[in-house]
Chains A and B, each alone.
Chain A
Amino acid sequence: MKNLISQRLDQIPSSGIRRFFDLLSSIEGVISLGVGEPDFVTPWHIREAAIHSLEKGYTMYTSNSGLLELRQELARYLKAAYYLDYDPYGELLITNGVSEGLDLAMRAILNPGDEVILSDPCYVAYPPCVLFSGGVPVWVPTNPEDHFKLHASDIEARITDQTKAILIGYPANPTGAVMSREELAQIADVARQHNLLVVSDEIYSRLVYETLHTCFASLPGMKEHTILLGGFSKAYAMTGWRIGYAAASAEIIQAMTRIHQYTALCSPIMGQMAAIEALKEGEEEVGQMVKEYDQRRRVIVKGLNQIGLTCFEPKGAFYAFPSISITGLSSEEFAERLLLEERVAAVPGSAFGQCGEGHVRCCYATSLGDIEEALRRMGRFVGGHKHK
């Protein structure tokens, strides 16, 4: 029984985070800043709407594209938020979270050997999704001095005949970085000039602070060049429902739907029913949650900087990405020792790419009390590990 597993998987490194996760699970009393989801439970009216849909017997498949009512609500939302016109009959597809949307997008557009440009560091799923589709990830390094922004000129320098797409995700996991409309417009210019697609993961679009989110597709002339991926997980605290969406030209959505119909068939109907309720009535709660994240963000950023883990002020998502250089430890060593010595969990930045080394990701979607206690413990830890 040799070679049970496909060779395609050889190029996907198994996540080094697995060992850390096992270690974490074996320790009691840990304050975790290692999560990647809201600490809020889905607002009750959304849960209640889903329960009601089950009571009424909505337990069947939906169309491959997703419930029409959900697509219509989405079209209305995208129009209201960004003045974007997407046709619910052909330019929108409901997916199992952005995760599936990303996979579908890559499979729909990539031929073997096609290159996809992405930022280093970036969300962990981006490179594997490119690789699964036979594509080649091309990294653009970013740095903390620059708040981990992606520069159009750096992208342009890496464009070859093989380049097919640019994959971006702002607000960013793990850095919390956002890009201004002007900075994104420069990337749009490069994409247009070189006739590249931009796959824009905007799952954190609602979680921005002191600024407005720019939807990449809303930049002049970019709707046709953009595959917009979004979802309900972060804004409405609906991670477990697995509902996301893709918005793009009819040609691309049709191609993505062709894969989706055979691999997923459709997204769970109860999640879709909940998502309709979220879009119709969930605005109030989004505002409340954003307000709370904003307060916690200020607390963690100030606290991290005070204890010497320097950190720029992230304007989006719910992550701070401080530098740990003051300790001289690698990010994996830092995370492991911090866990063992002070029982605080943070994610080593190296999990997100080479440029993430020297940093840890701290999620502030947790109670203020826990954030403050975590900061006290981290302060003690840093005090004991200052680089000599």
Chain B
Amino acid sequence: MKEVQVQCYSGRTYAERPTSFVWQGVFYKVEKVEREWREPGERRFRVCTEDNKSFELCYNEQKDEWSLIELKGVEMKKILEILEKDARTTPEQISTMTGISLAEVKKAIEEAERERTIVKYKAMINWQRLGEEQVWALIEVRIQPQREVGFDAIAERIYRFPQVRSAYLISGTYDLAVLVVGKTMQEVAAFVAQKLAPLEGVQGTVTHFLLKRYKEDGEILERREEAKRLPLTL
């Protein structure tokens, strides 16, 4: 969101309807307010300007502040939010759910894939349910940053190992948090002792074996809250 100066018609309340705005030094006259609605703490207006450009103007009521979004970004965000929740949602479904035309949805998805905004589509699987033995370990790694490349070069040496499922640079008493998955404890221990710890620049590691996974990527793994609603209420 970018800063913007907005003039608006204020009747009974402030900001009933934006009439014009200045953005990046350019004056835009609002031709039409296409939609107005509320988001948490904000009032939003989708406007069309005289020269046929579409914008969303957001008025934050608490901060008493206007901001602006170019519409391309807004539509992209809507599409990506739906896909992030369920990657199998088809472009046709997304088009219906958002009111964005099918062609535009397809174009946006292609663009997101090309730019690697959408990194990958995959299923989230709870292998515990199949009784598969898996050992997960969270490893704290302290490293010596290097001139010019900082932590990145050593981080890359670490995250390129396929055993590393996630790798994060973090603040605090150690530098990298590395999630390693293996079949047995020995396998994970061997990876740490033989591959990770001896790397040049690695000053020390602390390995925590995971005992139970409760929630991942916002999903609770075991239980699902069952519907308790009555099937009919008026």
Contacts and interface: CB of A to CB of B under 8 A. Distances in A.
Contacts of B36: 210-212
Contact of B229 (A35, A213, A287): A35
Contacts of B232: 17, 20-21, 24, 32, 34-35, 345, 347
Contacts of A24: 231-232
Interface residues of B, number: 25
Contact of A298 (B61, B96, B225, B233): B96
Contact of A287 (B40, B99, B230, B234): B40
Contacts of B97: 295-296, 298-299, 368
A374 interface: no
B214 interface: no
Given A298-B98, A299-B96, A347 B37 contact: no
Nearest to A38: B229
Nearest to A80: B61
Nearest to B44: A212
Indicate the size class of the contact surface on chain A: 35 or more
Contact of A295 (B38, B82, B231): B82
Given A83-B13, A220-B12, A298-B96, A345 B231 contact: yes
B39 interface: yes
B35 interface: yes
B119 interface: no
A17 B234 contact: yes
Nearest to A213: B38
Contacts of B82: 295
A212 B37 contact: yes
B227 interface: yes
A34 B229 contact: no
B56 to A, nearest CB: 13
Nearest to A32: B231
Given A41-B225, A295-B82, A298-B97, A36 B37 contact: no
A13 B51 CA distance: 60
A211 B38 CA distance: 8
A104 B109 CA distance: 54
Contacts of B233: 34-37
Contacts of A124: 234
B142 interface: no
A37 B93 CA distance: 24
A296 B39 CA distance: 18
Interface in B184-234: 225, 227, 229-234
Contacts of A173: 234
B230 A212 contact: no
A18 B61 CA distance: 46
A286 interface: yes
A232 to B, nearest CB: 16
B150 interface: no
A64 interface: no
B229 A39 contact: yes
A249 interface: no
Contacts of B12: 83, 218, 220
Q: Which of B61, B82, B97, B225 is packed against the most chain A CB atoms within 10 Å?
A: B97
A25 B40 contact: no
Contacts of A302: 96
Given A83-B13, A212-B37, A351-B234, A299 B93 contact: yes
A218 B11 CA distance: 12
Contacts of A208: 37-38
Q: Which of B43, B225, B230 is packed against the most chain A CB atoms within 10 Å?
A: B230
Given A24-B231, A34-B232, A210-B35, A284 B96 contact: no
21 contacts: A17-B232, A17-B234, A21-B231, A25-B231, A34-B231, A35-B229, A35-B231, A37-B233, A39-B227, A41-B225, A208-B37, A209-B37, A210-B37, A286-B40, A295-B82, A298-B97, A298-B98, A302-B96, A345-B232, A347-B232, A347-B234
Given A24-B231, A352-B234, 19 more contacts: A17-B232, A25-B231, A32-B232, A35-B231, A37-B233, A41-B225, A173-B234, A212-B37, A218-B12, A284-B40, A286-B40, A295-B82, A295-B97, A298-B96, A298-B97, A298-B99, A299-B93, A299-B96, A351-B234
The 7 closest A-B pairs by CB, nearest first: A295-B97, A287-B40, A36-B233, A34-B232, A283-B40, A32-B231, A124-B234
